[in-house]
Structure 1
Amino acid sequence: MSFKMKSMSLAVVSALTALSMAPAMAQDAAANGQQVQRVVVTGSLISRTDTETPSPVQVLTAADIQKSGKTSIAELLNDLAANGQGTLGTGFAGAFANGASGVSLRGLTVGATLVLIDGHRMAPYPLGDDLQRSFVDVSSIPFDAVESIEVLKSGASSLYGSDAIAGVVNIKLKRNFNGTRFNAETGNSQHGGGKTNKASLTTGFGNLDADGYNAWVSAEWRRQDAIKVSQRDQFDWDNRDWRARGGNNLTLGVPTSLNSNLTAASVPFLYNPAGNNPAGVANVDNPANYQFLSSACNFALYRAGGCAVKDTQSNIQPATENVNVVAGFTKLLPDNWELGVKASLFQRNSINNRNASPQAFSPTTFGGNTTLVNGVLTAGVNAVPSTLIPASNKINPFGVPARLYGFIPDVAPTNTVNNTARTTRIAADLKGSAYGWDINGGVGTSEVKSTLDYSGYIYRQALYSAINNGSFNVLGGNSPDVIAAISPTFTNKLSSKLSYADVVASRELMQLGAGPLALATGLHWHKREQNSPPPALTVNGTVASTIAFTMGDETNTAAFAELQATPVKDLELHLSSRLDHYDTYGRSFTPASSFKWTPMKELGFRGTFAAGFRAPGPAEVGTAGKFFTFNAINDPVLCADGNKKTAGNVVGACGISPTYVQTTNKNLSPEKSKSFTLGVIAEPVKGLNATLDYYNIEITNQIVTAAEFPGFVANWVRLPATPVDIANGDGTTHVGTPAVGAIAYAPSAFINAARTKTSGIEADIGYRWNLGNMGKFKANLSATHMFGYSIDGVQLAGTQGPSGVSGATGNPKDRAQLTLNWSRGPLDVTTTTNYTSSFSTIDPSLGVNDCSKTAFAVGGRTYFQGLTQPSQYCRVASFTATNLSVQYHVSDNLTLRGSILNLFDKQPPFDVATYGNSGAQTSYNASLHQAGAIGRFFSVGLNYAF
């Protein structure tokens, strides 16, 4: 940044702040009559009497939340029409931060949406989405303690700083409470799994006006059972056998051409690769080359698919348990000052698995693990050059070394994590008036600690030593000591901490035109510390890498100011700016302006312009790393033409998803954005109100991993060459040692390179109708339509892409939510219909424009590998789910309620390109269509107040 630009940034903030030092003009006495209540709406620092602001803000009240039929904040926010591509849901098993949930306004990933609690920053989850993007885990927010949720759908860095590029979600907890209220609810899914029980108790005492204080506490418990993949395999989207749909049979344990007819089955077996053939040509069709180790399977049964294995471990929805406690205390102080203190403990326990499947033996060799220690990458750690079962082993009848195929018995499924995330928070806010200023100050600290208990990781050297010395039985029944040696369980502790201090002062300075000139100015400070190290057993390479790791901290100081004026009647103007300083890179200056013009009561216009930024976080500039894959390629040396049958090609090197190692970059600059909105506010008739807003956002200097950027040339690091299956050119193979070894990894650093542009319209239409004796009717439609979404000039709106941003979660152009409510006397009925439009499975960002290659190109999907993808799978169909909620007020104290989520039991559409549940081969989109995978869900509950 040039000195001139720095000076201009300082001058603007200083000029706005300097106005605060001028003496205020004398104001008229308070008007007669009842004082109109003023509120501060998210997106502004200045209180106002109307909530229709220049920026589009969606407000969900406590009543709206209760009528939704949902039982968690994560479920509620996932259905917002403005929550788009890149949404991280709890069912997205492929995510690095699986089990947590984040919000992605306008499809710009969870890292571009700032989530606040009571207007203040929270510590982010200890693991970022795809390692990189920090977010607040909304699955840990208590449901019954929420007073309202305000969703600001406009860039807001000029007031809130980093991460508010797409907008802000401000979750407001209860300010005070009197009395006692008990809630209980139970529910279950129609198709099995997912049983949910929930209970909460809130009690408070003290009247602010009469007693000068209020104290309250709310405790909430929620348990949700897992939904297993096996509990939905009656539906085609969850069935691994795609032959009837023109694809491959991907059922575990079934030999096909994809696995060269050699794959682990329900019973372990030995295979003689030489086949007693002097030429050394493998013959997978000769029964004499197989020795099944149990009579439960034989060659004929195996080749017919009769030794398949059912996946009983992978989750569609993880098992979770939440325990939340929130306490608040408000005290009136002399001279109308008010002190508020809130303390909370949110704990979520979830049992997650990143696409769990049974652990298989390594038939020929084990290339070892790749470790990343102090920036040094080492491949082949703890390699096993040959995993062949020697002829001397009593289970080998061939007289020559043989391969062992099968699933390792007595061990947990791969990558199983028992994750306990505990969030603690304490915040104090002081507000009042002094010297003509309204002052709000706050300090607080929050910390997220995650304890991860790992199981299902294999120490391969120990495994094959135990097999060869006879201490491990490949059929099962092994002692706990033996299992502990070959599949050690281990624990890792992660933490993320954020402390902050804010002060905001506001006042009316003078009369200017048709109204007062109001100023708000303030200071902000926060320090963020993240300590998410890798587990010890992955550092030394005993087991494969488990998760991403991040260590680092940042300190941010900022000054900001906002001016509000009404220069002429019915025209409201805002000007705001903020100067941030981060100790990791330097300064960012972000101005913004907005207007609202209401020439008549029935019609108004509004618009905003805002600059924004996202500061590079610890995962990008600190000490961090991860191993990742994101598309399928053919080894450029070992399978250059991609054909497994070409003579000389290594069969296992065709159609691979190679590993990349993410590295940080200390020289990164912040991402920058420019956005504007232009909208109409209309109330043509009594009871009908509508807003329509156009938005346009451009992000430059975007931080991406180099491997995802066009033109990246991978510097492949290879393992030592070992004997493998090599094609003969006639459909058979032989065992040989190629000229080079298999790909181990390629390093990929973060770089400032990408440019993203998105635009669209958002509509919010509400209608209230008094039906007299028939009750009252309310309708609200919230909808969004995307005109465009491009990355580096590649248009992705309405497609699967971008695959490199939050896992090919889809980029539909349209989302909508229609809520209808009818109430009469004690009865209250609400339906909520959520709609997501169709989109193409093609991801143009990968240079793929051929539908027949879509599924395999994105994420290495194998539904139609080697085949032509049927045209019906070139698009993901639209999805509509309706929820029904009924409440009946038995008395002033007792309310009964019931709900049916996904009332019509709509199944999710096929999505063959997303990788969210790729390991389980479930072909649905967990971010957009999770309600369909769960299916119809019933619940009943009660609310009792006393």
Structure 2
Amino acid sequence: MLKMKSMPFAIASVIASGALFATPAFAQQDGQNIQRVVVTGSLISRTDTETTAPVQVLTAADIQKSGKTSVAELLTDLAANGAGTLGTGFAGAFANGATGVSLRGLTVGATLVLIDGHRMASYPLSDDSQRSFVDVSSIPFDAIESIEILKSGASSLYGSDAIAGVVNIKLKKNLTGTRLGAETGNTQHGGGKTHRASFSTGFGDLDTDGYNAYVTAEWRRQGGIKMSDREMFQWDNADWRSRGGNNLTLGVPTSLNGKLTAASVPFLYNPAGTNPAGVANVDNPANYQFLTSDCDFVKYRAGACAVRNTFSYIAPPTENVNVMAGFTKKLAGDWELGLKASMFQRNSINNRGANPLAYNPTTFGGTTSYWNGVLTSGIGRVASTLIPATASFNKLGAAARMYGYVPGVDPTITRDNTSKSTRFAADLKGNAFGWDINAAAGLTKVALDIDYSGYLDRSALYAAINAYGANPNDPNGWNPAGGNSPALVDKISPRFSNHMESKLNYVDVVGSRELMQLGAGPLALAVGAHWHKREQNAPPSEMSRIGRTGNTDAFVIGKETNSAVFAELQATPIKNLELDFSSRYDHYDTYGNSFTPAAKFKWTPSQMIGFRGSYERGFRAPNPAETGNAGSFFTFNVINDPINCKGGKNTNAGSVVTGACAINPTYVQTTGGNLEPEKSNSYNFGIIIEPLKNLNASLDYYNIQVKNQIVTAAGNDPTFFPDFARGPITPVDISNGDGTSHVGLPAAGPILYAKSPYINLGGTKTSGVEADVRYRWNMGEMGTLRAGLSVNHVFSYITEAADGVTYQLAGTHGPSVVGGATGNPKDRAQFTLGWTRGPLDVTGTMNYVSDFSSLDPSVGGTDCASTAGDVGGRNFFQNLVQPGNYCHVASFTTTNLNVQYKLSKNLTLKGSILNLFDRQPPIDVSTYGNAGAQTAYNASLHQAGAIGRFYSLGLNYTF
């Protein structure tokens, strides 16, 4: 049987073997007038699309045949997309709802996304509150002409952020005729119902009429998929006892929660109640009072008062409305003016907090607010949340704790995000004084409006509870069991909104010409200048700023201005040898200057084989989130409270039972005043072969080293010791070491937070190879067969810590601190096989992700037998020995099928099945993308498995 890990290489062998049956032929020009084009990664037009750097091109036809319904889904499957990618299923992300690309696994901040070769405003919420990126989920299918993925650094031409490569999304330039499209789809296992409709129309011929005008519009709605829709699968099952772990089902008492946890019905517990011989307080039914008859002590202990997770999304519901208009006009001479205006709007509902909101059993330490460099903690602190013995609903005769979920309030923290991207662009091209001139200017903006629900004003809540306890008829009193008025619910759980914006305005001018004949070809020169002004205005919501409901968002307020000049020189000094030199000088008003040169070559000793290579320097400028008025609250890997968690277990004598062991402490991210840009050096070497007609392949080696990385001190600088701010010491449950506990005063108050600044520290070095094979076979009356294979293999991914210690993270879960714990598999591959005969077109696409370790050595995950491997900070195996099989994430392969049939000249029927074989995602205990929801799959790599088999059917009509 063929092993899955050898799948990509087996596919390559099959293609190569099948090609041997074709008739050999050299690659030849057919004598026709071939149009010169500018390919991403160069400023100089050319006829040969095989450039000195590897560029993958997805045409509009490729996109339509993928079976996908969004650009986000399409780019997520790129073989070159690696660790740190941001997908729509990544519910734990700061920028949840948006999608970013991470080429070479160097995070979304190191991949530059362009629209028509120009910069676009970033998403107002940065990834991990730090990394700027362009949200590709808002770009519509029908507006795209092609997508070019440059898989090498390109700072010498494009400037900052192009360390790992460039994704250039080219929108339609002109369109004639009218096209109508409609599509609907659904998942096999429930949820995710999708509808899509599109309309495009254009008129005017550039050659005959001298102009073209068009408009295209698209609407797409995708229903949400909740955890309850997939609870039949192991990765969505919170009860891990049969797998050697803990039962994490909400509402089930276990040793992890001290047998006291919020259940489906609120209840009171008397911690000072009777304690018969041999029976701990917590095990005595007499110390409990359930506030409704739906649950009692027997049911509670049996797990019959568990809470079904019907509120957390595996895939959030989204709706897109997109409109774009274009106008192109031929002017006098060879000049041409192009104008585009677009509005892409995406709405999504995300619930980053995955658990319902619970009452505080003993105290509430208050919220923490960080704004304008001022940190204020303890806002709205409630010194005691104990229900007094005199309360009308307390029948225990003593002050009691209250456990339960707050009824009537949205079950989780929910964000209704509406992102609106607007772009106005003008492009002018022509010829003057022997130069080909391309000038462009654009105004781009992304506005984000968020409606919040599911937050609590806890000081108001407990004031209302006390009012009800004193007088059940008080209109301002809160009945903990439910039945409260909508007005009172709105008072203790206010709904509020926030508006954020990101703007980027640019001007680009490029001139190119052939200077002279030099050797075997022309010496071509391109020179240009770039200017952009960027503003990010993403303040905290008012409720967050005053600390009434706790922190809701990271905030960024800042701006930058960049001016740059650049040049490219291309020559063919001897036959078949192409040389390319480029350099760029940037000035940023935030830190200073950067100079980034590059040198490339391509040598084709014969028409069957060619070689290419490059050396490039790159940089990433500190962005407003790192240098402006910015801040956020974050957590990363698990630690034990050095004071209150004795010996690393909550069952050891003297340990605080809950909230001290295996915790994710909160850090307050502060900005740095003297940050330098990240800098990179990259090398690429490749082979291009075309041994047979219609068969071409390339194999490229890459080596990228990034230094001076901008990281947060916590978890990166070993000399950084957090100065934890703690709350007041209050009575808590303390373990006796024998399975029982007592109420007492701990040695220190609970950890509230610690500050962590941005610093320049350490680096990353990654290397690997990427193979790309394309074959087309004309079988005569049997039709045309086409095949394509793209494979990325990572040789090495090394991070360097401040003390000089390096960690090899290829094939592991690292780097979880800067990459979102998205996993770092060594191999990714995409294989497409298509067949066209007459009106029928069938395309199959196989996407493969190799296996990898669930450990991250860079944060101490080196031992499979301990919870050190659970870098995601979840409690699957807390206080237990983690089985070795959960230190490994299995490989994952999905297959998509797309069929198109032309019913007539104008009407096309389309049907697709995504995840044809309904492959479920492999278990991953370490990713924290859905940590709060306690799902055990990797949403960045294996989201297609969580969605399951998806069917769609559509029609397109053109006239």
Task: Flag whether TM exceeds 0.5 (same fold).
Answer: yes
Whether the aligned pair in 2 keeps the contact of 1:274 and 1:281 (CA below 8 Å) is no
**1:727-746 superposed matches below 5 A:** 727-746=735-754
Q: Structure 2 residue aligned with 1:596, among 591, 602, 605?
A: 602
- Of 372-381 and 785-794, the range deviating more from structure 2: 372-381
Paired position in structure 2 for 1:824: 837
Letter in 2 for 1:878: S
Paired position in structure 2 for 1:879: 892
Whether the aligned pair in 1 keeps the contact of 2:704 and 2:767 (CA below 8 Å) is yes
Q: Structure 2 residue aligned with 1:175, among 173, 176, 186?
A: 173
Letter in 2 for 1:826: P
Tell me by how many angstroms 1:32 deviates: 14
Q: Structure 2 residue aligned with 1:697, among 691, 704, 709?
A: 704
Paired position in structure 2 for 1:938: 951
Deviations 1:712-750 (A, max 9, x none): 211111111111111223222221222321111010000
Whether the aligned pair in 2 keeps the contact of 1:855 and 1:862 (CA below 8 Å) is no
Whether the aligned pair in 2 keeps the contact of 1:41 and 1:47 (CA below 8 Å) is yes
Paired position in structure 1 for 2:807: 794
Whether the aligned pair in 2 keeps the contact of 1:355 and 1:917 (CA below 8 Å) is no
**1:397-412 superposed matches below 5 A:** 397-412=395-410
* Structure 1 gaps, min length 5: 1-30
Q: Structure 2 residue aligned with 1:581, among 584, 587, 590?
A: 587
Q: What's the secondary structure of 2:939's corresponding residue?
A: coil
Paired position in structure 1 for 2:565: 559
Paired position in structure 1 for 2:724: 716
Deviations 1:144-176 (A, max 9, x none): 110000000000000000000000000000000
Q: Structure 1 residue aligned with 2:332, among 317, 322, 334?
A: 334
Q: What's the secondary structure of 1:89's corresponding residue?
A: coil
Q: Structure 1 residue aligned with 2:858, among 845, 852, 858?
A: 845
Letter in 2 for 1:772: G
Letter in 2 for 1:89: G
Whole-angstrom distance in 1 between the partners of 2:535 and 2:646: 46
Whether the aligned pair in 2 keeps the contact of 1:217 and 1:325 (CA below 8 Å) is yes
Tell me by how many angstroms 1:640 deviates: 3.9
Aligned length: 916
Paired position in structure 2 for 1:4: none
Paired position in structure 1 for 2:767: 759
Whole-angstrom distance in 2 between the partners of 1:376 and 1:881: 49
Please give the TM-score of this superposition, normalised by the length of structure 1: 0.96
Paired position in structure 1 for 2:386: 388
Deviations 1:432-457 (A, max 9, x none): 00000000000001100000000000
Whole-angstrom distance in 1 between the partners of 2:61 and 2:249: 46
Letter in 2 for 1:806: G
Paired position in structure 2 for 1:432: 430
**1:516-535 superposed matches below 5 A:** 516-535=522-541
Letter in 2 for 1:698: Q
Q: What's the secondary structure of 2:235's corresponding residue?
A: helix
Whether the aligned pair in 1 keeps the contact of 2:174 and 2:212 (CA below 8 Å) is yes
Whether the aligned pair in 2 keeps the contact of 1:267 and 1:406 (CA below 8 Å) is yes
Letter in 2 for 1:478: N
Deviations 1:38-69 (A, max 9, x none): 00000000000010001000000000000000
Letter in 2 for 1:174: K
Whole-angstrom distance in 1 between the partners of 2:702 and 2:663: 40
Tell me by how many angstroms 1:97 deviates: 0.2
Whole-angstrom distance in 2 between the partners of 1:579 and 1:757: 24
Tell me by how many angstroms 1:646 deviates: 2.5
Paired position in structure 2 for 1:3: none
The answer to whether residue 341 in structure 2 is matched with residue 343 in structure 1 is yes
Q: What's the secondary structure of 2:927's corresponding residue?
A: coil
Whole-angstrom distance in 2 between the partners of 1:862 and 1:689: 50
Q: Tell me: CA distance 1:856–1:545, structure 2 relative to 1, closer, same or farther (3 Å).
A: farther
Q: What's the secondary structure of 1:258's corresponding residue?
A: coil
Q: Structure 2 residue aligned with 1:776, among 778, 781, 784?
A: 784
Paired position in structure 2 for 1:866: 879
Whole-angstrom distance in 1 between the partners of 2:211 and 2:334: 12
Q: Tell me: CA distance 1:685–1:645, structure 2 relative to 1, closer, same or farther (3 Å).
A: same
Whole-angstrom distance in 1 between the partners of 2:860 and 2:884: 19
Tell me by how many angstroms 1:852 deviates: 2.2
**1:79-98 superposed matches below 5 A:** 79-98=77-96
Tell me by how many angstroms 1:402 deviates: 0.1
Letter in 1 for 2:511: A
Letter in 2 for 1:722: T
Deviations 1:668-705 (A, max 9, x none): 00000000100000011112110000000000000000
Whether the aligned pair in 1 keeps the contact of 2:464 and 2:478 (CA below 8 Å) is yes
Letter in 2 for 1:75: E
Whether the aligned pair in 2 keeps the contact of 1:409 and 1:474 (CA below 8 Å) is yes
Whole-angstrom distance in 2 between the partners of 1:247 and 1:901: 33
Whole-angstrom distance in 2 between the partners of 1:754 and 1:232: 41
Tell me by how many angstroms 1:391 deviates: 0.7
Whole-angstrom distance in 2 between the partners of 1:904 and 1:59: 28
Whole-angstrom distance in 2 between the partners of 1:940 and 1:334: 47
Whether the aligned pair in 1 keeps the contact of 2:274 and 2:286 (CA below 8 Å) is no
Paired position in structure 2 for 1:707: 714
Paired position in structure 1 for 2:6: none
Deviations 1:302-330 (A, max 9, x none): 10111100011100000000000000000
**1:642-653 superposed matches below 5 A:** 642-652=648-658, 653=660
Paired position in structure 1 for 2:7: none
Q: Tell me: CA distance 1:476–1:280, structure 2 relative to 1, closer, same or farther (3 Å).
A: farther
Whole-angstrom distance in 2 between the partners of 1:734 and 1:865: 21
The answer to whether residue 619 in structure 2 is matched with residue 613 in structure 1 is yes
- Of 435-444 and 469-478, the range deviating more from structure 2: 469-478
Q: What's the secondary structure of 1:367's corresponding residue?
A: coil
- Of 354-363 and 846-855, the range deviating more from structure 2: 846-855
The answer to whether residue 901 in structure 2 is matched with residue 888 in structure 1 is yes
Tell me by how many angstroms 1:34 deviates: 5.5
Whether the aligned pair in 1 keeps the contact of 2:154 and 2:165 (CA below 8 Å) is yes
Paired position in structure 2 for 1:5: none
The answer to whether residue 918 in structure 2 is matched with residue 905 in structure 1 is yes
Letter in 1 for 2:827: D
Paired position in structure 1 for 2:458: 460
Letter in 1 for 2:185: G
Q: What's the secondary structure of 1:284's corresponding residue?
A: helix
Paired position in structure 2 for 1:924: 937
* Structure 2 gaps, min length 5: 1-28, 469-476, 801-805
Tell me by how many angstroms 1:244 deviates: 1.0
Whole-angstrom distance in 2 between the partners of 1:237 and 1:175: 45
Q: What's the secondary structure of 1:493's corresponding residue?
A: strand
Whole-angstrom distance in 2 between the partners of 1:805 and 1:279: 52
**1:72-111 superposed matches below 5 A:** 72-111=70-109
The answer to whether residue 675 in structure 2 is matched with residue 668 in structure 1 is yes
Whether the aligned pair in 2 keeps the contact of 1:415 and 1:546 (CA below 8 Å) is no
Deviations 1:168-189 (A, max 9, x none): 0000000000010001100000
Paired position in structure 2 for 1:166: 164
Tell me by how many angstroms 1:854 deviates: 4.4
Paired position in structure 2 for 1:14: none
Deviations 1:905-931 (A, max 9, x none): 000000000000011111000000000
Paired position in structure 2 for 1:682: 689
Q: Tell me: CA distance 1:157–1:851, structure 2 relative to 1, closer, same or farther (3 Å).
A: same
**In percent, how many aligned pairs have the same letter?**
70
Q: What's the secondary structure of 1:556's corresponding residue?
A: strand
Deviations 1:14-55 (A, max 9, x none): xxxxxxxxxxxxxxxxx9985431000000000000100010
Deviations 1:600-623 (A, max 9, x none): 000000001100000000000001
Whole-angstrom distance in 1 between the partners of 2:706 and 2:218: 40
Letter in 1 for 2:675: L
Whole-angstrom distance in 2 between the partners of 1:896 and 1:276: 73
Whole-angstrom distance in 1 between the partners of 2:953 and 2:276: 71
Tell me by how many angstroms 1:400 deviates: 1.3
